[in-house]
Each structure stands twice: as C-alpha cells, then as structure tokens.
Amino acid sequence: MNIAAIAHRPESEDCFLINDSTLRLRLRTAKDVTAVRVVFGDPYWQVPDAAAGSEAAAATATTNAAASTTADAAVDPATVAPTAQAPAAQGPTRFGYQTLPLRRLGEGESHAYWGVALTAPYARLQYLFEVSDASGAVAFGDRGPRSVGEATRQDMGNYFRVPYFHASDRVRVPAWVQDTVWYQIFPERFANGDKTNDPAGTLPWRPEDHPGRDDYYGGDLQGVLDHLDDLVELGVNGLYFCPVFKATSNHKYDTIDYFEIDPDFGDKALFAQLVHAAHARGMRVMLDAVFNHLGAQSLQWQDVLQNGPESRFADWFHIHDWPLAPYRDPTQGEGTPQFDTFAFGSNMPKLNTANPAVQDFLLEIATYWVKQFDIDAWRLDVANEVDHHFWRRFKAALVAIKPDFYILGEVWHSAQPWLNGLEFDGVMNYAYTQQIEDHFLTHRATASQLCERLQDQLMKYRDQTNTMMLNMLDSHDTKRLLTVAGGNLDLALQALAFTFLQPGSPCLYYGTEMGMTGADDPDDRKPMDWTQLHASTWQHVAALVAFRRQHAAVLAQGSTALEVTATGLLRVTRRLGTTQLTGWFNTTTAPQPVSGRAALSQATVADQLLPGGFVLEVQTDSDSGNRDR
C-alpha cells in the first residue's frame, strides 16, 4: 500500500461542520485503495471490557446497515448518528466505538477522495481510518499509520479529535448567494443613460469598435438604471459592478476618493436610487474595491509627494527610499524601487495595511457603503496581497452591520488561508473555470483530465465554501467567451451550460448574452451591443439562467459527480434528496447516442447528441427507468 498517499487534516477542508451537529470527513488516498472505514465515537464513552468486542461488533453491524440504506437512497455520503450504547460500568472498560464505510467521492489527478458525514449526540468525536487495498489494510490516525486491529482501536493516542462541535467555529456563509446568478457590469461600457456627464472626447456608442486603453464611451449609472428591467428579464439577480468610485481612468481601479461616485457615472443620489431599484426587483448589489493600493492622484499620495518624510501619510505606504521621483522601475534596469506598488506601476502605490490608521480608513470606507446605501457584497481586487489581520477586521466590521454580507476576494491560486470563515466567503474561482476553458474551448485537456482536475479543486475547500465561489468564464480582465471559443457559439454555450451545473455562484460578463466578442483588455470592454437584446443568443443564455435558478437548491447543496461515459460523453450528476439533475456534454468529434427527457438541450438530432451539444435532465425518485448512456 502507498501509505505516503494517505492524507487528512482535522479542522480543515478535510474535517468540518456542515451544520451545528454534523461533521463531514474527507480522506485522500492512492487510487488503488479499494475501501475505507472510519472508527469513531465519543472520546469519553467507555463500555465494560468484557463486552467491548460484542458491543463493537453490534455497533458495526447496525451502522453498516444504516450506511447501506443511506447510500442506496442518495448519492450524498451517509450521515449516521451513533447507535445507543450501554452506559459505562464499574470495573475495566474499553473505548466504545462504531465503524462506518466511507464513500469514494471521486478521483483527482493523483489521488482518490473518500467522504462520510457523522453526527455526535454529545457534540464531540474522535476517529481514525482503516484503509484497504489489494495488499492489505492499515489504520491511519493522528500520529500516523498503524496496524489494523483491536489494539489500535483502543489506542486513544492515535485518534484524530474534534474536541467539541462549536457552532461559533463553523464556517457560515450567506445563504442568498447560493441562489444568485451574478451579472458583471463594466459601467463605462454598459449604457450611456445621461449624456450630460460624458467626459470630454467621448466617442459614439459603436459596439463594433476596438476600444483604446484610454477611450471613453459615456457609460454611466443612469444607463444601468434604464436597463434594469432588461436584466430582470434575462433572469440574473445579482449585480457585480466594477469600481464606481472617483478615479482618473475609464476602468476606475486607480481610486482617488472612495467616498464619492465618479462624476462620469453620476452621483451618490443616483447610486442610492439604483440600489433601491435593484433591491425592489430582488437583486443584490456587489461593489468592487481596491484596498491594496491607492491611485497616484489620491489626497494621501499627493501629500506624500509634496511633503516627503514629513507627510502625515508617509507611513501609510511602503516607502524604502527618498526622493520618490523619478520612480526606479526594476523591469527597466533602473534599480530598486523607492516604494512598493501594485506590480511595478508607479501610479498605484501600495497601502501599508498593517498601519492601524490605514486599517481604520479602509474600514470606514467599507462600512460607509453598507450603512448609507445598503450594498450586499464587496468584491476585493488584489485581495491576496493584503495582510490576513486586516481582512479579519474587515469581515468582523461588515457582518456586525449586516450578518449575511458577502465578501469575495480576487485570488487566482489556492485560497484556503482566506476561506476559514474569518476573512472571505469565496473567491473568484479562476482555478476551477480555467479547467473548463482548457477542455471545452481550447482543448488543452481531455475529458478525463477535466474531471480529475475539477475534483481536485472541489476537495480544496469545505462544502459550504464551494457554494460561495464565483464561477465566470470571462471578465474585464480576459478575452471574451465567444472569442476564446473561436467564434463557435455552440461551444461557448456548451461551456456555459457546464459551468452553470457546477457548485458555486455563476456570473455572466456583460454582453455574453448578446454574443459579443473581444480579445484581451481593452478589446474585451467594447460598448454593449443592445441591438442583440432578445436575439437568439440572448434567449439561449436566458434559458440557462432560468434553469439554474429553478434548480438552485440542488445545484447549491447537492452532491456532485463528474465522469466520462463509455461513449466519451461528459456526465455531471447533481443530487439532493429525491431530485437528480444530470447533464451530458458531447466534447468528442462525433455524434453520440443519448436518450431521456431533456429539460434543456442543444445540438440534438433524434437520439443523437452532436459535437458541441448538451442535454440537461431533471429526475425524481418517482421517475421510472434507468437512463444511463
């Protein structure tokens, strides 16, 4: 047995509360492992020594029967409460444990994953695993591998422990996000609703343009307000705004004043009207902010430039040398920079968020827009470059005002350090959606590799955290979806349908529903093509949004299985209770047989699923027949 492949960490994504009384366990093993059992019980539960063997055997038989029943009834791992056990007696005693099989959750690129859910009547558990393959079995506990047997089961020192199920330690997430389909708006290019605030040199609204980096088209908040009912009709119920604060650029990521709406977009009164109108339509509002750095024209940085080391804001930044100008760019061979920046951009000096004064300033901003305008979420740009201590203060301040506030971080890599319940609820799920792009759109990965890589990503985070991840296939920072798909609309919609079946909160970038194209920034920021409202692509996207929202409970809380069928189809199975959603996706080069009742489909002819096609099916346990392909 490859013991080195066995891995588990208590109180992590491997061991976490999914509600106040249920503990989810996961174990990672080599792929050739054939079975895993968990030995578990209350660490203080003792049974008479003479009865220990028979008691343990009876408990095992009882839990095995319960596990079999549960596993047959649902795809989700068994959730079994300990059976009634005899109270501790006088005289020699032994640990009174139970055993339960783990379910194989799936396979990643190098490991298999196993899972089970347990409840405990006294809110505490200790547990170890017994892992089997063709060569034998090993017990795996807190202090490492041991031989399987009663002696190991009675060795209290090798058990993993959850000393108490503290409800306050459980990772809690805002439930409304699970039901949300987001829509990202780049305000300067969405719609021009008020020409009186157009910047000098504003260009005519031409969706066919290829914008320059500094071009303006006059998009504003009034334009969003004017088209709010169009977004309601599309079905989205979350608005994710790129920055709207006063700044010098068209993208507004170089903030000058966080307390003001940029006059190119409107004012605070108009923003308040927009938030109110969105809420009245059942839409949530998320703002985008950069708390890693300020714009070069900000009051604070200008004071530093003017007053040097004597500036009251000098310690607000990471300054290493004076004078600050001209900036020494190391990428140009100019030496060591005098101050830290985002990347090597001298116009974006990095804030010293370890400074309490900076923390207080940023927290005042964050809470101001919640208190005064009732926004529902923050999306945090460059979030991984800000210290953890600040983000813990950030979350505490916001949930104190609005307990179901949603905090989303921009993190492009593995994000476990930010997702333990004290900082972010979720992150931009680039690591997940990149795998989808690599298979569906650019064909750099096979169907099997896609399934394995997505399984690896799902196992990085707790179940509730996976529901908080923002899944988007394009954005203001990337090529547009249809462009990456090489102009193949079926391929783009197929990838979008697959994404909408995944755990997490899906997000559309403005114009995806209009079939817009665009290369990398700034070409991905063309003016919105409103002539395509209600056209064919819009209708296809609206149907996907409707399907996602109609089945939000299953897609948020249900189990997930990813596999490749014998005919090469990708199959996604999501199940919750008696309802199962199944998606088949043909990413091969030939038609493949498919049958059943499609709730939504693309590129099907009779019982054939064409390349680029998909079928989404909804079944309940009352449906008859086995529809395996």
Q: Which residues belong to the active site?
A: 381, 410
Could you report how far apart the first and last alpha carbons of the chain are, in Å? Answer: 34
Taking the C-alpha atoms of residue 258 and residue 245, their distance in angstroms, rounded to an integer, is: 5
Identity of the amino acid at 98: Q
Residue 225's nearest CA partner among 186, 190, 261 is 190
Taking the C-alpha atoms of residue 291 and residue 60, their distance in angstroms, rounded to an integer, is: 54
**CA 402 → CA 231, 285, 358, distances in Å?**
25, 13, 23
Taking the C-alpha atoms of residue 187 and residue 225, their distance in angstroms, rounded to an integer, is: 11
3-state secondary structure of 111: coil
Taking the C-alpha atoms of residue 302 and residue 313, their distance in angstroms, rounded to an integer, is: 9
Taking the C-alpha atoms of residue 292 and residue 340, their distance in angstroms, rounded to an integer, is: 11
3-state secondary structure of 394: helix
- Residue 356, preceding peptide bond in cis (omega within 30° of 0): no
Beta-carbon neighbour count of residue 303 at 10 Å?
16
Residue whose token pair is 């029943």: 69
Which string of b and e fits 459-496 if b means at least 16 CB within 10 Å?
Answer: bbbbbbbbbbbbbbbbbbebbbbbbbbeeebbbbbbbb
Taking the C-alpha atoms of residue 431 and residue 416, their distance in angstroms, rounded to an integer, is: 13
Kindly write down the DSSP assignment for every residue of 543-606, as one continuous string.
HHHHHHHHTHHHHHHSEEEEEE-TTS-EEEEEEETTEEEEEEE--SSS-EE--S--SEEEEEET
Residue 101's nearest CA partner among 91, 120, 87, 115 is 115
Q: Per DSSP, what are the bridge partners of residue 249?
A: none
Identity of the amino acid at 327: Y
622, with CB counted inside 10 A (0-12, 13-18, 19+), is exposed
